[in-house]
Amino acid sequence: MSEPAFDLVIRNARVATAADTFHADIGIKAGIIVQLGLDIAAGKSEIDAAGRTVTPGGVDGHCHLDQPMPPPAKMADNFDTGTRSAACGGTTTVIPFAAQAKGQSLQAAVDDYHRRADGRAHVDYAFHLIVSDPTPDVLARELPELIAKGHTSFKIYMTYDDLKLDDGEVLDVLDVARSHGALVMVHAENADCIDWLTKRLQAAGKTAPRFHGHARPMLVEREATHRAIALAELVDVPILIVHVSGREAVEQIRWARAHGLNIFAETCPQYLFLSAENLGTGDSYLGAKCVCSPPPRDKGNQAVIWNALTEGLFTVFSSDHAPFNYGGTDGKHPDGNEVTFPYIPNGIPGLETRMPLLYSEGVLKGRITVNKFVELTSTNAARAYGLHPRKGTVAIGADADLVIWDERDVEITNAILHHNTDYTPYEGITLGAWPGMTIAGGEVVWDGKQFHPRAGRGRFLQCGAPTLLPSK
């Protein structure tokens, strides 16, 4: 008897890409999609997807794993637990950040990050850079060399003392991106306004977690978003504004596009599913779980972000997974101490819940098409970070990274998740869908009940040039 033609065949799939929805069998060999068609030949193993939607695996272009932190804070997820969680939530490519500390060389940050990732990842990964110290050598030599080695995107911060750049430094970094065809992701919040407000709140004894939101009102995001847009206009280079939280930043992005500027934008689950109420009331400390920056806004702003998403304002939908335990010694409530809000590590976990939240509340509730869902959670991140069409689509020659969706009720509890963080901000939300199976490089990594580990399965990806179309 002759060998089966394929390692794996997924039969009777309703395949959704960013462009189309069609019925097909998917033939996979050596981790690659090699045939799409009807009644294709047999595989060594077969999965019947009749009645179910199959999408490309998610590409999470904004997540933080095992990123070095100023002590005592420590991230709860590393490349093992973070990619485990990603896989079980339908994400098959992650792009966390090799973060340069001030005074450190960028190459040293990348080398250190490789050591953290090597042999640990269950799904494929690439590295963005975080540029916090754009010295003449970084600008003239290190950045161009690292772009050539496949780090074609970098994040810069307009806030956080240990990371922020001044406007001149932002211009310098944007200029390198323009010359070498890289994409800059901008964290847009005005640092001086935040410092000024924080000092006043502290002096008034207003230090509970909810005051984190008071120290970062929308205008600090609006001003920095506008400034980032102006700086990008000056250099004449596209940028991507990350974690857009509400109306005022949305208005700036609309304004920029109306003026013909090429500005891409990201939002995240926390701005659709959390609100300022989640930061707590009175002196309650539990709101520390939802302290992230920018902070979740009010319910009206949630609606603004949903509307902007449905209208097509956002390019990508990322988790901004920034995992810190609530309990323990190195997280949000260290050794049980209620620290004042400026000392609560910023960020929330969300790698595993990103895709099911948007599939359930976006696609199943009729707010967006399944094709838009694919574009936001997978295809556009692959394009933005130079991984398309290997990633982000279902096509012949693409990596066999797929999700078969189960449309069934699932209540989110931390117990069902696979990250190493001791809580989820989405506890108790019932969704109408969950990945019934995740396939990464042709291997089943999540079967709807169990995770199938293979540390080292995940490969490091060198990114190419961004291939996003101009923003509209």
- Tokens 């995240």, residue located: 268
CA 171 distance to own-chain centroid:
25
Q: To the nearest whole angstrom, how small is the minimum distance from the Cβ of residue 242 to Zn ion? A: 5
Classify residue 451 by its DSSP letter: B
* Positions in 83-122 near ligand URP (CB under 6 A): none
User: Which strand ranges, in their side-by-side order, compose the sheet holding 124-125?
Assistant: 58-60, 91-94, 124-125
Q: Binding ligand URP by CB under 6 A: which of 64, 151, 212, 457? A: 64
* 57 lines the binding site for ligand URP (CB under 6 A): no
Q: Binding ligand URP by CB under 6 A: which of 320, 352, 361, 399? A: 320
CB closer to ligand URP, 134 vs 296: 296
- Cα separation, 239 vs 42, whole angstroms: 46
What Rg, from alpha-carbon coordinates, does the chain have? 21
* 321 lines the binding site for Zn ion (CB under 5 A): no
User: By 3-state DSSP, what share of the chain in percent is helix, strand and coil, each rounded to 5?
Assistant: 35, 20, 45
Q: Which of ligand URP, Zn ion, none does residue 122 bind to, with CB < 5 to 8 Å depending on kind?
A: none
* Positions in 338-357 near ligand URP (CB under 6 A): 346-347
Q: To the nearest whole angstrom, how small is the minimum distance from the Cβ of residue 340 to ligand URP? A: 17
The amino acid occupying position 74 is K
Q: How many residues does the chain have?
A: 472
Q: What SS3 class is residue 22?
A: strand
Q: Binding ligand URP by CB under 6 A: which of 138, 188, 322, 440? A: 322
Contact, 148 vs 107, CB < 8 A?
no
The amino acid occupying position 206 is K
* Positions in 182-201 near ligand URP (CB under 6 A): 187
* DSSP H or E run through 156: strand 153-157
Contact, 162 vs 194, CB < 8 A?
no
CB closer to Zn ion, 187 vs 257: 187
Print the binding letters for residues 184-223 with Zn ion: x by CB under 5 A, - otherwise. ---x------------------------------------
Query: Bridge-partner residues for 26, per DSSP?
Result: 10, 36
Q: What SS3 class is residue 52?
A: coil
Q: Which of ligand URP, Zn ion, none does residue 212 bind to, with CB < 5 to 8 Å depending on kind?
A: none
* 245 lines the binding site for ligand URP (CB under 6 A): no
Q: Which of Zn ion, ligand URP, none does residue 222 bind to, with CB < 5 to 8 Å depending on kind?
A: none
Contact, 411 vs 429, CB < 8 A?
yes
Q: To the nearest whole angstrom, how small is the minimum distance from the Cβ of residue 40 to ligand URP? A: 43
Q: Binding Zn ion by CB under 5 A: which of 320, 352, 361, 375? A: 320
CA 101 distance to own-chain centroid:
21
- Cα separation, 419 vs 437, whole angstroms: 17
CB closer to Zn ion, 377 vs 438: 377
* 292 lines the binding site for ligand URP (CB under 6 A): yes
Where does this chain touch Zn ion (CB under 5 A) — which range of 180-188, 280-288, 383-391, 416-424? 180-188
Residue facing Zn ion at closest CB distance:
187
Q: Which of Zn ion, ligand URP, none does residue 346 bind to, with CB < 5 to 8 Å depending on kind?
A: ligand URP
* DSSP H or E run through 99: strand 97-99
- Cα separation, 426 vs 357, whole angstroms: 9
* 128 lines the binding site for ligand URP (CB under 6 A): no
* Positions in 148-177 near Zn ion (CB under 5 A): none
Contacts of 172 (CB under 8 A, 6+ apart): 134, 139
Six-digit token string for 404: 């078969």
Q: To the nearest whole angstrom, how small is the minimum distance from the Cβ of residue 324 to ligand URP? A: 9
Q: To the nearest whole angstrom, how small is the minimum distance from the Cβ of residue 113 to ligand URP? A: 15
Contact, 173 vs 235, CB < 8 A?
no
CB closer to ligand URP, 172 vs 221: 221
Short-list 123, 126, 64, CA closest to 91: 123
Where does this chain touch Zn ion (CB under 5 A) — which range of 39-47, 119-127, 255-263, 320-328? 320-328
* Positions in 365-404 near ligand URP (CB under 6 A): none
Q: To the nearest whole angstrom, how small is the minimum distance from the Cβ of residue 155 to ligand URP? A: 8
* 302 lines the binding site for ligand URP (CB under 6 A): no
Residues that bind Zn ion (CB under 5 A): 187, 320
Residues that bind ligand URP (CB under 6 A): 64, 187, 243, 292-293, 320, 322, 346-347
